[in-house]
Structure 1
Amino acid sequence: ERNILMEDAYPRLKDFSRTLGLEFQVVDMRWGVREEAQDDHMTSSLCVKEITKCVRSSAGPSFVALLGQKYGYRPFPAQIPSEEFQVIRQMLIDNQTDVTILDTWYREDCNQFPCGYRLQAISSILPNY
């Protein structure tokens, strides 16, 4: 699908945009995300920053989402406010669910305000990632 867009649809959109005195640019949110960003759970925030950049620089429609029926990557939140984390944790305990994995992957971070829990880098838990 991406190849067809790159080979056929995007060139046509570029040509059409030029007739209107506009420039068409493609930003694919899933191409070019570096491993360091994935390791530190920054993919979603990088995509949001790119959308914001598109909105700022656009003279017209700034963002088009092409969605399919494929289930994709669903990231865990990189940060959870302390109060919310404690509620989640207590609900798991009340349901007799082991919280070891939760406690391993999320660590309290009071270097932010308000304090919250931060998802640890993948390589800090799985060194060979």
Structure 2
Amino acid sequence: MKHERNALEADAFPKLEQLCQRHGFQFQAIDLRWGVSTEAGLDHRTMRICFDELRRAQELSPRPNFLILLGNRYGWRPLPEEISVEEFHTLEHAAAQIPGSADKSAVAVLREWYREAWRPRTTPCR
């Protein structure tokens, strides 16, 4: 998708900017891949940030206001921002059963990722 994004930036976006200006509008391209800090990604907020940006664009902009490019490529899939305590305990049990994890590193990673989940509570875990 790199070539497609580059073509949009080099050819399509400038033309859309000119077209919008002629009709009294402003065109602004936003690539959601660029707007999420490493810190936000590590704190489970990637999807929330992207969806918030889409909502903001839909509230502020006339239609159409969203274009998505989807490819058929395996890649990163974010973990959920929150899981229930029950889901956490199921994952924790499965992580403890991983062969070669006698040091419980899989459980430690899970507890770090969902650091609030392993404490007793009834609300979703982050």
TM-score, normalised by the number of residues in structure 2? 0.71
Higher helix share: 2
- CA RMSD after TM alignment: 2.8
Using the TM superposition, give the Cα deviation of residue 19 of structure 1 relative to its aligned residue in structure 2, in angstroms.
3.2
Q: Relative to structure 1, is the Cα distance of residues 39 and 21 closer, same or farther in structure 2, using a 3 angstrom cutoff?
A: same
Moved more, 70-79 or 31-40: 31-40
In 2, are the aligned partners of 1:108 and 1:115 still within 8 Å (CA)? no
Structure 1, residues 43-95: CA drift from partner, whole Å, max 9, x if none? 111111100110010111121111122222101112112244345556x38xx
Identity among equivalent positions (%) equals 39
Q: Does 1:39 align with 2:42?
A: yes
Q: TM-score, normalised by structure 1?
A: 0.70
Number of matched pairs: 114
Structure 1 moving runs of 4+ over 4 Å: 87-90, 96-99
Structure 1 unaligned regions, length at least 5 = 119-129
SS at match of 1:14: helix
Structure 1 residue 59 corresponds to structure 2 residue 62? yes
Pairing of 1:96-107 with structure 2 (within 5 A):
97=98, 100=107, 101-107=109-115
Aligned partners of 2:23 and 2:122: how far apart in 1? 48
Q: 2:12 aligns with which of 2, 9, 14?
A: 9
